[in-house]
Structure 1
């Protein structure tokens, strides 16, 4: 909702719209204060059902007090055997204490039976989400350091946070000298054999740099420079992944982050109750989620997980360097804050730098702010299409 939910007694994060194609803005915006910022082209986002694949969410009391992955796996396999569902190595299991379930390949008969089981809360068809191809600028081997306008606009660039930023995205370039990546806690849910959290797309590395690129005389400076970042890879080199993969990533953060840590979800898509519920479950533990509002220029209440209305979950819209609304940004009562998301320069693959746009770029600015606790605001965005200007997040 368009409100400020402070951290439910603590503080109240990184996001899930890999945000619908974050395109490069090659032309600098004019200084005309009365215009809405127009990037080179409207970003797009695709989401398609995965035929025959479903997410089975269990009732809260299905396993009693048991909550480990082994508990969920054993219970789920028993259920699948009951309905003669094939058990494969590609099975996914969700073991957050307040969000438990599994994926299954079901035919129509099995779907009907599974949906009617008293231990099942609901069954939802899995979806494949894909970032639209990004227009990218040339890599810039920045020898001298620059502070991006967005870092300055939200009051960042001064110090690291003692908390951790969990980037649920395409991964992070693990060996980047200007990022403090915790490899031991980084994890990939892409692929089944020797999965690697290293970024092969660029999107996640860009997000991580906006949050926490070091103040070290090279490249760019993040909002919380030098803060530890953890790669939670849920999208592949093409920016594609299933909702169930994303839920795996959210559950991983929920089970491993600590109170006050921030998760960035610069991705999302069509409505998914399962994804929404997974985010709520993780956030209920005191982990803060910054989620992208999305790039379809529509009501953010139509997309997940931006539509989630819960403590510690913040949906972020986008603006340009003149505080003007970014025309691609989603809007509405689901949005909590606005942040810079047009022509944002940050870290990229091969230790390069790139300038791109999208609510995916706005969200990590907010994540960086949220790493310091309850945020303040500094003005409101101009020309918000819903008529209720989003407050601009600030440390």
Structure 2
């Protein structure tokens, strides 16, 4: 039987890492520059001036230490200048302006709306404050994880796809899931619910995002063998099937044994807009099944402006499965997270909702070590909120909330 990742087609979010001006006002010379009596300036020249000739003249006349000469986008040059040289050049009729050089850098770390919506920014770890990490291990059973992504703490993994020895993500989905659960709080990129938690890449889906129960069982088996290390496993994947039993000699039995070993499983409810009772593993009682809501501003109230065409703010996501098998809801629409190749993207689906809860489980376990998977599920549900609308089955599951963890 084939399985697939539970997310929709990716939507590229341009400009996740843009270069911007580093200050709103003119930069003052650093203490080192002041000690030497000089700092770097940009000398802009008037039309008709020869940048190279003027730069050479200023080097001779006022001791300008020229580092760059601009001829096309701007006429001028960059140089280290003493305060007296700045005053002198400001009087040169060929000079249009003498401007202090300024720093530029990648934009500051983004706290995605979903992270704020579930209270991770005010939890014990205060996701987004640029420091700290969560001392928990999370397995991402998916397409793998980019082990070189600087925003992720990938500590190891396994490959269960035939013909490949690496757990490197060749699709992007697993890397995205990993970032929502545990991207580092490092002042770059994004931040996850359980920032910096140790991530284990369990590759059970191929580069197209497809796989089979046999590969998923390989992943569950590996996680169970490492249950003394791994506390939480996320499965943003699924296929059709029935509930089965803990003695069915198949997927349900494997999950039962793994949860009995102490691993909390969080899974996506599925994206078929139907009852999750026919979706495996979401229908299994031992897992925490997660549906998706749309949240665009990180706040309750329904006032956020949609950033993609997947519903209204604070409403149930139309693609999400529902029903009595679903335990929690989480943001799953236009979710910004990490992507293979060191980048970032925004995509949608219950695949994106599930790792919010996996991160929440990790955060809970960081302060409740040894809690059973059943206890984790019960306490996460008890902490949830109901400040959203549109559940199609009339029995609203709580929205995960970690503000008190």
2:25 corresponds to: none
Deviation string 1:10-54 (CA, Å, 9 cap, x unpaired) is: xxxxxxxxxxxxxxxxxxxxxxxxxxxxxxxxxxxxxxxxxxxxx
Are the aligned partners of 1:290 and 1:316 in contact in 2 as well (CA < 8 Å)?
A: yes
Residues in 2 aligned to 1:173 and 1:139: alpha-carbon distance in whole angstroms = 20
2:3 corresponds to: 129
2:346 corresponds to: 355
Are the aligned partners of 1:207 and 1:361 in contact in 2 as well (CA < 8 Å)?
A: yes
Residues in 2 aligned to 1:260 and 1:154: alpha-carbon distance in whole angstroms = 24
The size of the alignment, in residue pairs, is 264
1:30 corresponds to: none
Compare CA radii of gyration and give the structure with the larger one: 2
Cα deviation, residue 138, structure 1: 5.0
Q: From 273, 277, 280, give the equivalent of 1:297.
A: 273
TM-score by length of 2: 0.62
Q: From 98, 112, 116, give the equivalent of 1:152.
A: 116
Deviation string 1:175-207 (CA, Å, 9 cap, x unpaired) is: 111100002xx1000124x51000000000000
Residues in 1 aligned to 2:261 and 2:140: alpha-carbon distance in whole angstroms = 17
Are the aligned partners of 1:338 and 1:381 in contact in 2 as well (CA < 8 Å)?
A: no
More divergent stretch after superposition (137-146 vs 266-275): 137-146
Deviation string 1:226-249 (CA, Å, 9 cap, x unpaired) is: 111110000011111111100110
Residues in 2 aligned to 1:380 and 1:271: alpha-carbon distance in whole angstroms = 32
Deviation string 1:277-316 (CA, Å, 9 cap, x unpaired) is: 2112211111100000000010001110000012xx2000
Q: From 138, 141, 152, give the equivalent of 1:168.
A: 141
2:224 corresponds to: 254
1:63 corresponds to: none
RMSD between aligned residues: 1.7
Q: Does 1:230 align with 2:221?
A: no
More divergent stretch after superposition (212-221 vs 373-382): 373-382
Q: Does 1:267 align with 2:237?
A: yes
Q: Using a 3 Å threshold, how does the CA distance of structure 1 residues 134 and 394 change in structure 2: closer, same or farther?
A: same
Cα deviation, residue 260, structure 1: 7.1
Q: Where in structure 2 are there 5+ consecutive unaligned residues? A: 18-105, 127-131, 245-249, 296-312, 365-375
Cα deviation, residue 263, structure 1: 0.2
Residues in 2 aligned to 1:130 and 1:370: alpha-carbon distance in whole angstroms = 24
Residues in 1 aligned to 2:8 and 2:327: alpha-carbon distance in whole angstroms = 28
Residues in 1 aligned to 2:356 and 2:8: alpha-carbon distance in whole angstroms = 22
Q: From 309, 312, 316, give the equivalent of 1:325.
A: 316
Are the aligned partners of 1:381 and 1:391 in contact in 2 as well (CA < 8 Å)?
A: no
* 1:1-395 equivalences in 2 (<5 Å): 127-131=1-5, 134-138=9-13, 140-142=15-17, 143-144=106-107, 145-157=109-121, 158=126, 159-183=132-156, 186-192=157-163, 195-258=165-228, 261-271=231-241, 273=244, 274-310=250-286, 313-321=287-295, 322-373=313-364, 374=376, 375=380, 376-395=383-402
Q: Where in structure 1 are there 5+ consecutive unaligned residues? A: 1-126
